[in-house]
Structure 1
């Protein structure tokens, strides 16, 4: 089977590796925002498609039989384009989305719908570990009465104001290191997206141990698709007669 994976996550890489080992012809597409990403098995392409029509044309012109959206759970535009391109091209779509993190008992999570609500909920004087990626930081940095440690995989495009500093780090992270970081930085609040997965979960366990407040930004609503939570379920879904 010829398969196009919209990748950029650990699950996408694991899925590509498994499918290639099974004998499928796999191409993984990366957006190209992360330098030196771990490369999956099979073919790899980098860059966009030119919107819905570009993706649809690419699927049809190259004879793909399945499309798998294994991008980040907050990639609304890509998820929407994948659904529309699947409809236009007739290539069946499977969406691989890791399960959300579940708030453990005795944790201090404050659930918010978006970045604006998270920033607004911060008390004056908060010292925040901001783990939301490198985009859309302006909403948080506008809170000049708080201070921030902004953690990202890639260097930030713009210099930070005086009440924030950049921390470049690549997962996986571990509880011991996360706990030490939060203590050393005097962190009082953690702001994160509910991305799920094990590679970045340690920050939540560290925050719980230190009894810190976690501002958990909810996942956006994505257009309906055949959605599965694991690599194994995605492989199984490829052989279904999807609607």
Structure 2
């Protein structure tokens, strides 16, 4: 049996480890990473790096490598690859499962401003603050590059490439982050508004608690939808259980 995991996330690495440990001996587990991050943390099992060339290329790869099941464990905002996965799996007649960590939910004291895109986030910022903690990654910074008079602290694993805001300081760091560290960043840089994607998970959630404590607004970019008809698991453990059921290996 051969399982292909479209990965790159913390959950995808955990999932690969569980698959290697719990599926029948002789099962191949291959994780595919997009290659957008330099020096990625490699999961257990086999690893390939790079794209497939769209849905058609993925379908061809599934057939050539005799893949029995495909798990889309990419980032919740990697929308394009998720739709390619759905189309490619359907074309190759391979069962597909999506692994998506639950999104964040606002609590008492939160001042959240949900938006549909980075462009919409940029549009609402001038009414909310002047010093922005931008935690949406290194891609898409062009949405904030217009003449808005704002100052940005942008955090990402790798250095961003232009276009990006003229008044921007870059912080290269990788989670998980601590509440104490996020408090200090907000205090030291006099941050008065936070921008984030609804990525979910615990690794980057402390910034939300720090923003709540500092009583600053948070602009939250909503997730793109999972392709219609795709079964979704919320945890790696649930994904393994659902995969066993799909393949007739209840374990």
Q: Deviations over 1:52-81 (max 9, x none)?
A: 111111111111110000000111110000
Given that residues 149 and 165 in structure 1 are in contact (C-alpha distance below 8 angstroms), is that contact kept between their aligned partners in structure 2?
Answer: yes
3-state SS of the aligned residue for 1:239?
helix
Given that residues 114 and 218 in structure 1 are in contact (C-alpha distance below 8 angstroms), is that contact kept between their aligned partners in structure 2?
Answer: yes
Q: Which residue of structure 2 lines up, in the alignment, with residue 102 of structure 1?
A: 105
Q: Which residue of structure 2 lines up, in the alignment, with residue 8 of structure 1?
A: 8
User: Given the alignment of the two structures, is residue 50 of structure 1 paired with residue 20 of structure 2, yes or no?
Assistant: no
3-state SS of the aligned residue for 2:66?
coil
Q: Which residue of structure 2 lines up, in the alignment, with residue 129 of structure 1?
A: 133
3-state SS of the aligned residue for 1:170?
coil
Structure 1 residue 139: Cα displacement:
1.3
TM-score with structure 1 setting the length? 0.96
Structure 1 residue 204: Cα displacement:
0.5
Given that residues 66 and 92 in structure 1 are in contact (C-alpha distance below 8 angstroms), is that contact kept between their aligned partners in structure 2?
Answer: yes
Q: Which residue of structure 2 lines up, in the alignment, with residue 77 of structure 1?
A: 80
Q: Which residue of structure 2 lines up, in the alignment, with residue 21 of structure 1?
A: 21
3-state SS of the aligned residue for 1:86?
helix
Q: Which residue of structure 2 lines up, in the alignment, with residue 229 of structure 1?
A: 234
Cα distance in 1 for residues equivalent to 2:147 and 2:212 = 24
Residue from 169, 185, 190 that aligns with 1:186: 190
Structure 1 residue 123: Cα displacement:
2.4
User: Given the alignment of the two structures, is residue 33 of structure 1 paired with residue 32 of structure 2, yes or no?
Assistant: no
Q: Which residue of structure 1 lines up, in the alignment, with residue 118 of structure 2?
A: 115
Structure 1 residue 105: Cα displacement:
1.1
Cα distance in 1 for residues equivalent to 2:58 and 2:114 = 35
User: Runs of 5+ in structure 2 lacking a partner?
Assistant: none
3-state SS of the aligned residue for 2:153?
strand
Structure 1 residue 158: Cα displacement:
2.6
Structure 1 residue 143: Cα displacement:
4.3
Given that residues 144 and 164 in structure 2 are in contact (C-alpha distance below 8 angstroms), is that contact kept between their aligned partners in structure 1?
Answer: no
3-state SS of the aligned residue for 2:13?
helix
Given that residues 9 and 74 in structure 2 are in contact (C-alpha distance below 8 angstroms), is that contact kept between their aligned partners in structure 1?
Answer: yes
Cα distance in 1 for residues equivalent to 2:158 and 2:96 = 30
Runs of 4+ in 1 over 6 A off after TM superposition: none
TM-score with structure 2 setting the length? 0.93
Change (3 A) 1:55 1:209: same
Q: Number of aligned residue pairs: give it.
A: 242
Cα distance in 2 for residues equivalent to 1:192 and 1:216 = 5
Change (3 A) 1:120 1:89: same
3-state SS of the aligned residue for 2:245?
coil
3-state SS of the aligned residue for 1:16?
helix
3-state SS of the aligned residue for 1:232?
helix
